[in-house]
Amino acid sequence: MHRDHGRTLYSRADLKKIHGISEPTLQNLWTDRANNGHPAAETIDGVMHWDGAVWVVWHKELQRQRAAAATTNAPNLQGDPDEEVGPAEAARVCGFADSATVSHYIKNPPEGWPDPDGHDLLPSGRQRPKWKRWRLWQYVAERKGRGHAGGRPKGRRGLAYPYQGDERLELARKALAENPRATNAELIPQLQAQAEKTYSRPTWNLILKSAREHPDED
C-alpha cells in the first residue's frame, strides 16, 4: 500500500487481501483491460499499483454489467453496490422467484455463492444474513447452470455435448482451426473480443474444451 497526495495506491497483493479476490482473477481482469475498462496502473518500485478509490468503483460497476450480460432472468441490478440486503431483496437481485432459493443456498451454497457480509439480529434471537449488492451481482455474473454465465443456453435439453448449437462454440472451433497450437490463455482474449456479451475466462475454458473434443458439428 502506498499513499500519494491524498490517494491510496494498492498493489495486486493489497487488492487480494482487502477485497478477497484471488490473484489469478485480478491478473485476468488486468489482461482483459482493453475490453473491461480496467483502470490504468502506476508502477512503484517495480510493482504495479492502482488508485484504490478508482479501482473499487470500477470493479463494482463491472460486476453489475457482467451480471446484466450473464442472465436472461430479470435481476434487480440497481441500487448502492455497498448496501447490505437480506434474503428477500437478495432473491430480487439474483432474479429468483422468491426467497426460498436464497434460504436453500444459505444451507447448501452452490459454487460461487458469497458468504454474508453481515447479519441482523431478529427479536427471536435468530440472525438474518445480509449481502452487499455488488457481491450478489458478482455471483449472478459468474454462476453456472442453465441460462447463466458458464451454463448452456436455456431450454436446450438433450444436448449431445456441452454448448452444442451455441454460437460461442462455433467461434471457439474457428479460432482453434486457425490456431491449432494455441493455448486457451492465448485464444480467450480473442474470443472475448468477438462475442457480443462478456463471458468469464472459466466459461471460455469450458467452451474451448468442448470445441477441442467436438471439432465438428455432429
- Per residue in 33-83, pLDDT tens? 887 889 999 999 999 999 989 999 999 888 877 776 655 556 677 888 999
d(CA 71, CA 33): 22
Q: Which residue has the cell 453496490?
A: 81
Distance of alpha carbon 177 from alpha carbon 157, whole angstroms: 28
* pLDDT tens by residue, 8-34: 999 999 999 988 888 888 998 999 888
Predicted confidence (pLDDT) per residue in 97-108, tens digit? 778 889 888 888
Q: Cα–Cα distance between 102 and 94 in angstroms, integer?
A: 9
Residue 136 CB contacts under 8 Å (≥ 6 apart), including other chains:
85, 90, 93, 94, 114
Among 169, 1, 139, 171, residue whose Cα is nearest residue 70 = 139
Q: Residue 156: what pLDDT?
A: 39
- Segment 132-172, tens digit of pLDDT: 999 998 888 877 543 333 333 333 334 677 777 778 888 89
State the pTM of this model: 0.44
